[in-house]
Structure 1
Amino acid sequence: MKIKIDKDISSEINIARKKLRMSQKMLARKIGISQQTLQRIESGINKTCDKDVLKKIYQILELDITQVTASNTTAKSFRIPDTLLYKIHSVKIKKKLSNDTEALIFCLEEFFSNVELSNTKYEIEEFIEDILNKTFINELKKMGRSNERYESVLKMIEDKNKINVVEYFNEYDEKVYSKIHAERMK
């Protein structure tokens, strides 16, 4: 996550580093960034900085980062079910975080950086594409297009998506009917 850096932050870092009689090269090495990057942060050329890098800078320079990170957040009020709040509190204890807000942020960052989430995104995109293809084919049928045109469009869709449309329709219909039947049985 990137944090906006204004002139006050840049100046604070520069002054604190000089107070500790630390060179840019030395501080950059401790943080794990290049001296040029640190120089760009201190001079205000870089307008944003990775949150973890900024935390390291503030930790090494013994500065309080809470004001910096607080200025880059938005206060929101949410109602959270007690069961979920209990789970967030458990994460706070397990990860040794200072409060429930940090625990919630941790959970959200983990969720949104999760590889499975990106895989789910692609599965959803493929599912929507399949639905659009099926809808398109059904609309062609309703319009009564000539078999020659219908067959050429159908072939194009099958080639592009590497599916057999007839088999796909049958599988899709079976899934839909089985879901409806399962819901009726409840």
Structure 2
Amino acid sequence: MTGRWGAVRAVMGCGLVAVALVSCSAPEDGPEVASLSTGTGQAPAASTERERPRERLDMTSEDLEALQRPYWKCMGEQGIPDKRAMGDLSVVPEGDERIAAAEAACAHTVPLPPWEKDPANPESHAFLVRVVDCLRGKGVVKVEVVPGESGGHTIAMGGAENDSEQVGLALGHMSECEAEASRR
């Protein structure tokens, strides 16, 4: 965003403000100024999806932590402390309204799920079915693809009684099965 506004200031500095802005030229011995093209004459819609980082299936816990740092930094800037640093993820330090406002302000920094699991991917359901098939082949009986809370689908482990042995077995083979499912 800084680059775009810097270019706009440079164009305004050249004194060329018009409905259809095409370019800005600088004196021959001055620094070059980038050209701007407005295309349709309308400002492009902001796309937070393009700005958001994306998780990958092969990320380590350290990789995921690094990917989440901008979110926690943003939340801190909004006055919401990093709950992980406090050692208790269940602690809610502020009222729900304040947290909701901070989350809205920081939404552009929340990592997207791996493309294979993203509800925006029309193949994500088929990927999850392949993962479940692989898990069943490894002896996990209580596992299925279910509708996700915020759209798309997810994998439910442990059955209705939340069988911890089945959950542990599924989690133990999850990375292997995701890798296998992504190769198909």
Q: TM-score range by the shorter chain?
A: under 0.3
Higher helix share: 1
Alignment TM-score, normalising by the size of structure 1? 0.26
**TM-score, length of structure 2 as denominator length:** 0.26
